[in-house]
């Protein structure tokens, strides 16, 4: 970040800095929720004292433009509504259009109350250990390999790579994926693969193309928030069914299929987010059998499936799918990095041809160049080497978190808490039975300097599920061990002095 500071100005440097930020915030360039640079980082970048930056941030806080959650950082607040609705003084006569009334409830407003309450529980002066994000550790990104891939792709850059892309995506990457999926038994004669802007866009396309208001979609409970939101945006009614240690409860699924027409089943059979649980091969086969008999297709979210750390590999649901029921979603966001937005959707051609056609209207195709970089990383063997490395690192991190929680017998140490150690993925889930408010427990953990996600994030109605998610992939082992202690301590406290759960808990976004 470049901030022009005029040393000859009579205005002190901290005021110049706060005025600069205030301008950017008021113009919306720094959006609500944006985290300002850490004071030390900005001071270094500008070559000034850290105290000067702190003074500038204090100014901003007094102006109501930012809030500093000590430990978590300084965040841009919503600018006061009054500012938005004041007519421009230059044209005082024009009546401002009432956007608030016009939008109405067509776009649900952001409600960050749960997240804000958890963040605010972090005591001042503590840099919290952040177990909120099941994403690849940015510090593990193979930057040199990525830079080399960029250099190679950019050297060979031809104008057609900068033209509108095929709605299907970069052909060499599709070809490579078809080959890789074939070796996993996931590429059938009538399948096609469509490249999308991350598997999130795949979910969104499926929901938009296949769901109409009132359609019933079955998911696991808890479930990935981004999927729930996409289904709900299409007007679908979500039936979130219970899970056991092997994933979706299929008896409950059968009951639901008997009780009402179901349009779509969404499931994450391998290293489910948030629970980390996986279906074994028998469960997968029975799921296919039940869905096939009911003629209900299944969206298989495969985004974590390559992150196995131990145990027997199960095939993908798609690999067992003789009926052509399964829409498989995959991504490079969890194995490499999410920033190039490259994911894919593999399913029978009859469906995918239509989705590709439909997708052109949505955004006229993806960034070919990003797909070319990913292709290069695959061809160079970078992904394979990188997977070896991150599997080892994440395995150690999982162990660092899980071992203290179950080491000497979970029930002894954490009365009424249950944890199924996952054999892969990026998160661990703790269930409380008898129930404790996930929100309350998350806040108690935050007071101990550790951030975890309350169960409410993963319920279609935002209900305060009696559980918490601990995402371990970006945190080092020592910190994870400390986090485990904080969790044990907080849960014990919650058992001793239970609080009433919040009536309704709407999560912030993005929840991943």
Q: Which stretch binds a copy of itself (CB under 8 A): 9-17, 165-173, 436-444, 460-468?
A: 165-173
Rounded Cα distance, 10 and 272, in Å: 58
Does residue 106 touch a copy of itself according to CB under 8 A? yes
Cis upstream peptide for 244 (omega within 30°): no
**Residues that contact a copy of itself, how many (by CB under 8 A):** 119
At its nearest, how many Å lie between a copy of itself and the CB of residue 53?
18
Residue among 82, 94, 89, 2 at smallest CA distance from 42: 2
Nearer to a copy of itself, 354 or 481 (CB): 354
Does residue 45 touch a copy of itself according to CB under 8 A? no
Compute φ and ψ for 75, nearest 5 degrees: -120, 145
Does residue 348 touch a copy of itself according to CB under 8 A? yes
For the stretch 10-15, contacts whose Cβ atoms lie closer than 8 Å and that sit 24 or more positions apart, written own/partner, are 13/48, 13/52, 13/56, 14/52, 14/53, 14/55, 14/56, 14/59, 15/56, 15/59
At its nearest, how many Å lie between a copy of itself and the CB of residue 5?
17
Q: Which stretch binds a copy of itself (CB under 8 A): 341-349, 386-394, 400-408, 478-486?
A: 341-349
Nearer to a copy of itself, 193 or 423 (CB): 193
Cis upstream peptide for 421 (omega within 30°): no
Letter string b/e over residues 418-448, b meaning 16 or more CB atoms within 10 A of that residue's CB: ebbbbbbbbbbbbbbeeebbbbbbbbbbbbb
3-class state of residue 496 by DSSP: helix
Nearer to a copy of itself, 12 or 87 (CB): 87
Residues 263-302 that bind a copy of itself (CB under 8 A): 292, 295, 297
H helices within 76-189, ranges in order? Answer: 81-85, 99-103, 113-120, 143-155, 171-183
Residue in 9, 11, 12, 28 binding a copy of itself, rule: CB under 8 A:
28
- Report residue 308 as tokens: 């196995």
Cβ proximity of 375 and 173 under 8 Å? yes
Residue in 4, 124, 125, 155 binding a copy of itself, rule: CB under 8 A:
155
At its nearest, how many Å lie between a copy of itself and the CB of residue 497?
36
Residue in 357, 392, 433, 499 binding a copy of itself, rule: CB under 8 A:
357
Cβ proximity of 323 and 285 under 8 Å? no
Nearer to a copy of itself, 234 or 278 (CB): 234
Does residue 105 touch a copy of itself according to CB under 8 A? no
Rounded Cα distance, 511 and 506, in Å: 11
Does residue 34 touch a copy of itself according to CB under 8 A? yes
Does residue 98 touch a copy of itself according to CB under 8 A? yes
- Report residue 110 as tokens: 């952001």
H helices within 63-212, ranges in order? Answer: 81-85, 99-103, 113-120, 143-155, 171-183, 198-210
Residue in 8, 10, 160, 500 binding a copy of itself, rule: CB under 8 A:
160
Does residue 141 touch a copy of itself according to CB under 8 A? yes
- Residues in CB range of 40: below 8 A, 6 or more apart: 50
Nearer to a copy of itself, 352 or 484 (CB): 352
Does residue 162 touch a copy of itself according to CB under 8 A? yes
Nearer to a copy of itself, 95 or 412 (CB): 95
Nearer to a copy of itself, 2 or 408 (CB): 2
- Report residue 347 as tokens: 């399913």
Angle between helices 477-496 and 438-447 (to 10 degrees): 120
- Report residue 509 as tokens: 């976004």
Q: Which stretch binds a copy of itself (CB under 8 A): 170-178, 383-391, 395-403, 485-493?
A: 170-178
Residues 173-232 that bind a copy of itself (CB under 8 A): 174-175, 178, 187-193, 197-198, 200-201, 204, 208-210, 212, 226, 229-230
- Block residue for tokens 């070919």: 368
Does residue 360 touch a copy of itself according to CB under 8 A? yes
At its nearest, how many Å lie between a copy of itself and the CB of residue 83?
7
Nearer to a copy of itself, 374 or 494 (CB): 374
- Residues in CB range of 19: below 8 A, 6 or more apart: 11
Residue among 231, 308, 297, 241 at smallest CA distance from 271: 308
Nearer to a copy of itself, 324 or 460 (CB): 324
Nearer to a copy of itself, 374 or 417 (CB): 374
Nearer to a copy of itself, 143 or 478 (CB): 143
Residue in 15, 58, 78, 120 binding a copy of itself, rule: CB under 8 A:
78
> What is the separation of C-alpha 317 from the centre of its chain, rounded to a whole number of angstroms?
22
Nearer to a copy of itself, 267 or 325 (CB): 325
- Residues shown for the chain: 512
At its nearest, how many Å lie between a copy of itself and the CB of residue 299?
13
Nearer to a copy of itself, 168 or 432 (CB): 168
Residues 366-405 that bind a copy of itself (CB under 8 A): 366-370
At its nearest, how many Å lie between a copy of itself and the CB of residue 136?
8
Residue in 17, 257, 325, 436 binding a copy of itself, rule: CB under 8 A:
325
Q: Which stretch binds a copy of itself (CB under 8 A): 75-83, 387-395, 424-432, 446-454?
A: 75-83
Letter string b/e over residues 343-370, b meaning 16 or more CB atoms within 10 A of that residue's CB: bbbbbbeebbeebbeebeeeeebbbbbb
């Amino acid at each position: 970040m470049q901030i022009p500071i005029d040393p000859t100005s009579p205005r002190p440097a901290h005021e110049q800095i706060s005025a600069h930020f205030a301008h950017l915030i008021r113009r919306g360039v720094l959006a609500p929720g944006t985290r300002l640079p850490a004071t030390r980082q900005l001071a270094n970048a500008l070559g000034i004292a850290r105290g000067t930056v702190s003074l500038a941030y204090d100014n901003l806080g007094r102006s109501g433009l930012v809030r500093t959650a000590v430990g978590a950082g300084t965040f841009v607040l919503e600018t006061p509504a009054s500012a938005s609705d004041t007519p421009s003084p230059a044209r005082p006569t024009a009546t401002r259009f009432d956007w608030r009334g016009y939008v109405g409830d067509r776009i649900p407003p952001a409600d960050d109350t749960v997240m804000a309450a958890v963040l605010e529980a972090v005591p001042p002066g503590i840099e919290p250990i952040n177990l909120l994000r099941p994403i690849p550790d940015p510090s593990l990104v193979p930057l040199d390999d990525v830079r080399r891939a960029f250099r190679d792709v950019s050297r060979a850059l031809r104008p057609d790579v900068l033209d509108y892309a095929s709605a299907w995506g970069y052909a060499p990457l599709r070809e490579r994926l078809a080959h890789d999926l074939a070796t996993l038994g996931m590429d059938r004669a009538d399948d096609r693969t469509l490249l999308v802007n991350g598997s999130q866009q795949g979910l969104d396309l499926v929901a938009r193309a296949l769901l109409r208001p009132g359609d019933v979609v079955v998911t696991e409970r808890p479930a990935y928030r981004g999927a729930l939101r996409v289904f709900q945006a299409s007007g679908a009614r979500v039936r979130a069914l219970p899970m056991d240690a092997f994933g979706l409860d299929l008896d409950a699924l059968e009951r639901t299929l008997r009780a009402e027409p179901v349009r779509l089943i969404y499931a994450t059979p391998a290293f489910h987010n948030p629970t980390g649980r996986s279906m074994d091969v028998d469960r997968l086969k029975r799921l296919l059998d039940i869905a096939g008999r009911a003629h209900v297709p299944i969206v298989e979210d495969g985004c974590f499936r390559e992150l196995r750390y131990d145990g027997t590999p199960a095939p993908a649901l798609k690999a067992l799918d003789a009926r052509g029921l399964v829409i498989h979603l995959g991504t490079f966001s969890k194995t490499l990095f999410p920033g190039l937005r490259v994911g894919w959707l593999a399913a029978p051609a009859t469906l995918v041809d239509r989705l590709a056609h439909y997708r052109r209207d949505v955004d006229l195709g993806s960034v070919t160049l990003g797909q070319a970089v990913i292709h290069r990383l695959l061809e160079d063997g970078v992904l394979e080497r990188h997977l070896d490395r991150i599997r080892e690192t994440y395995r150690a991190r999982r162990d660092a978190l899980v071992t203290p929680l179950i080491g000497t017998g979970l029930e002894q140490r954490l009365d009424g808490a249950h944890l199924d150690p996952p054999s892969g993925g990026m998160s661990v889930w703790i269930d409380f039975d008898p129930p404790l408010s996930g929100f309350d427990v998350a806040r108690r953990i935050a007071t101990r300097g550790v951030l975890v996600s309350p169960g409410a994030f993963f319920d279609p109605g935002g209900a305060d599920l009696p559980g918490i998610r601990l995402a371990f992939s970006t945190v080092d082992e020592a910190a994870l061990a400390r986090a485990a202690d904080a969790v044990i301590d907080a849960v014990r406290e919650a058992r001793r002095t239970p609080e009433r759960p919040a009536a309704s808990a709407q999560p912030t976004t993005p929840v991943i």
